[in-house]
Amino acid sequence: MEIIKVLFTENALKSMKEIILKFGKRAEIGGCLVGCQINDVLLVTHASEPGPKAKMSRYAINIDNKYTTRFSNRINQLSNNKLYYLGDWHTHLSTDLRPSVTDLRALKVLNNYVPKQFKNTVISVIMNHFDSNQLKAYKFSIQDDTTLNELQIEIITDPEWLSKFI
């Protein structure tokens, strides 16, 4: 099913904002996103830190994959497999939230690690480092893995059931 929208819970967005504040204003920050798919919508419930072995600079971030995998797996287990890895997020230190060539490459690599039926559901979210209300979500087109589609984004209040996993 073609994903058309990404819903961010207040919990996920709050985590992303806190992570940006924790790590400062001089480098791109990011991590993984966890949640679930409901029909043609992805619901993002959690966002991780980049991890202790992440490499962050002004124009790039290399997320600590072992850390983010453990983060995703822990929430997956806590939720009895209802919540799972959806993709990655990172900031740009500018108002340009278009994916860079590096972002495109990273999303291609991520797509190689997911089962075929989920190939075009992995997302990359880019947030303005200085204005966390500005964010965009992208995924590869269902037709090919060279065209990125921008997805609609909406912020929602935390569903009642989410409190068990926060």
Task: Give me the CATH topology for the region 36-158.
Answer: Cytidine Deaminase; domain 2 (3.40.140)
Quote the pTM value: 0.94
pLDDT one digit per residue (tens) for the chain, 166 residues = 789 999 999 999 999 999 999 988 789 999 999 999 999 999 999 999 999 999 999 989 999 999 999 999 999 999 999 999 999 999 999 999 999 888 888 888 888 777 777 777 899 999 999 998 999 999 987 677 677 889 999 999 999 999 988 8
Could you write out the DSSP letters of every residue in 27-64? S--EEEEEEEEETTEEEEEEE----TT-EE-SS-EE--
